């Protein structure tokens, strides 16, 4: 009941929660909550239950006590924001004493909207509808302002969603995600926004992964191209050096010595290149020709009767030497198969202790390796 005479003893329900010890606040609030929300469990309908709670709040509390109770209820809601009974008590107090909520800058329309959302979430659609109608009836100005604010908020959310779609269509996923995050803050009840944000983030990660793959492929391509270009330029430079070497005839020992020295210099400078086997073969042929040129020449043979006939061993050595010389000349001209055949024939003709046997076998092995590489 209302307090009339200032000397009248205050009822426990009309005293402010700050007048009691902290241990008394919970029982007083529980009693207030039970008093104002008990009509819903007593068989009243949605609007009737709210009006019954309002009548009790008007009869039992004045505006000062209602303001103190509203402060205590807000403190409880800070700890349990989804407590429907506490929030419903606060709304009923606000409907009965609008000034009590205004003292604490509490918006009746906002709290009513939040209570309606919780009631709809709990399946109490009739009570949520009646609550909205009652708030619009009791506080039409605030309800209209809240309606306009809600409409503006919805328009802002729709505009943000359109901006996000426009940005996503042009591949600007980061801007689209920012728009959707802002829209989700304005309207947390829309469940499609978090889904769209997750999808855009997946697309953004996929774009980043593809960009990384393309960049890696481009780097590898550039590196491989650089290596191949460097190798090609080096081979061209060595080939130019090779073609610039002085030529030499096989009957000119001085020219062969000059070419041999130039070939050995090139082999020392460039340790390895693709056409190096040709240089090695040319070096061996030059050495062989110089060795032949340095040998003493045998006196010319005559057909005078009684002259000494050559022994079979000397004939075999001569034939082997002829076959070896012929094979080396063919190898120099590029007739690899014929050169290999002549060199092998020289090994077959020559005796086992032939001084050039090891060298001929090495030449055969080198020519066979060169032949395989050409194939």
**pLDDT tens digits along 60-118:** 888 888 888 888 888 888 888 888 888 888 888 888 887 777 777 787 778 878 888 88
Mean pLDDT confidence for 196-211? 89
pLDDT at res. 16: 35
3-class SS of residue 104? coil
Percent of the chain with pLDDT over 70: 82
Determine the distance from the C-alpha atom of residue 212 to the mean position of all C-alpha atoms in its chain, rounded to a whole number. Answer: 6
Mean pLDDT confidence for 313-326? 84
Of residues 274 and 9, more confidence is placed in 274
Q: Where are the domains of the chain?
A: 17-138, 161-225, 238-295+312-374
Q: Which DSSP symbol is given to 298?
A: P
57 vs 90: CA distance, rounded Å? 10
Tokens 């009791």 belong to: 138
Task: Name which of 105, 100, 75 is nearest 87 in CA terms.
Answer: 75
What percent helix, strand, coil does the chain show, rounded to 5? Answer: 75, 0, 25
3-class SS of residue 271? coil
pLDDT above 90 for 223: yes
pLDDT above 60 for 12: no
In angstroms, the Cα distances linking 192 to 156, 206, 211, 254 are 16, 21, 29, 93
Q: What is the pTM (predicted TM-score) of this model? A: 0.35
Mean pLDDT confidence for 46-65? 79
pLDDT at res. 221: 92
pLDDT at res. 298: 56
Mean of pLDDT over the chain? 77
Is 191 in contact with 167 (CB distance < 8 Å)? no
Of residues 56 and 17, more confidence is placed in 56
Q: Which DSSP symbol is given to 334?
A: T
Reading the block at residue 228, the tokens are 């191949």
Is 97 in contact with 67 (CB distance < 8 Å)? yes
pLDDT above 50 for 14: no
pLDDT digit string, tens, across residues 230-266? 999 999 998 898 888 888 887 788 888 888 888 888 8
| pLDDT band at 42; cut points 50, 70, 90 | very low
């Amino acid at each position: 009941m209302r307090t009339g005479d200032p000397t009248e003893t205050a009822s426990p329900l009309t005293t402010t929660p700050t007048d009691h010890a902290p241990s008394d606040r919970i029982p007083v609030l529980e009693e207030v909550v039970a008093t104002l929300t008990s009509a819903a469990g007593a068989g009243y309908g949605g609007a009737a239950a709210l009006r019954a709670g309002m009548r009790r709040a008007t009869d039992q509390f004045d505006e000062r006590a209602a303001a103190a109770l509203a402060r205590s209820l807000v403190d409880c809601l800070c700890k349990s924001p989804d407590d429907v009974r506490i929030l419903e008590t606060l709304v009923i107090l606000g409907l009965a004493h609008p000034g009590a909520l205004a003292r604490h800058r509490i918006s009746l329309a906002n709290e009513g909207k939040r209570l309606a959302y919780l009631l709809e979430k709990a399946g109490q659609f009739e009570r949520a509808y009646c609550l909205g109608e009652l708030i619009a009836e009791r506080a039409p100005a605030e309800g209209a302002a809240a309606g306009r604010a809600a409409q503006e908020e919805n328009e802002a959310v729709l505009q943000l969603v359109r901006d996000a779609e426009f940005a996503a269509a042009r591949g600007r996923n980061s801007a689209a995600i920012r728009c959707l995050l802002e829209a989700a803050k304005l309207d947390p009840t829309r469940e499609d926004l978090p889904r769209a944000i997750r999808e855009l983030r997946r697309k953004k990660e996929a774009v980043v992964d593809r960009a990384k793959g393309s960049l890696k492929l481009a780097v590898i391509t550039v590196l491989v191209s650089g290596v191949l270009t460097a190798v090609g330029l080096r081979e061209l430079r060595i080939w130019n050096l090779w073609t610039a070497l002085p030529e030499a005839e096989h009957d000119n020992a001085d020219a062969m010595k000059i070419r041999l020295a130039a070939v050995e210099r090139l082999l020392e400078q460039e340790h390895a290149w693709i056409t190096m086997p040709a240089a090695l073969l040319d070096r061996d042929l030059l050495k062989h020709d110089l060795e032949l040129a340095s040998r003493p020449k045998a006196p010319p043979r005559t057909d005078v009767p009684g002259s000494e006939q050559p022994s079979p061993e000397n004939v075999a050595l001569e034939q082997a030497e002829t076959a070896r010389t012929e094979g080396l000349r063919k190898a120099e001209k590029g007739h690899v198969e014929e050169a290999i055949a002549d060199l092998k024939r020289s090994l077959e003709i020559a005796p086992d202790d032939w001084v050039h046997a090891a060298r001929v076998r090495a030449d055969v092995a080198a020519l066979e390796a060169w032949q395989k590489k050409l194939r």
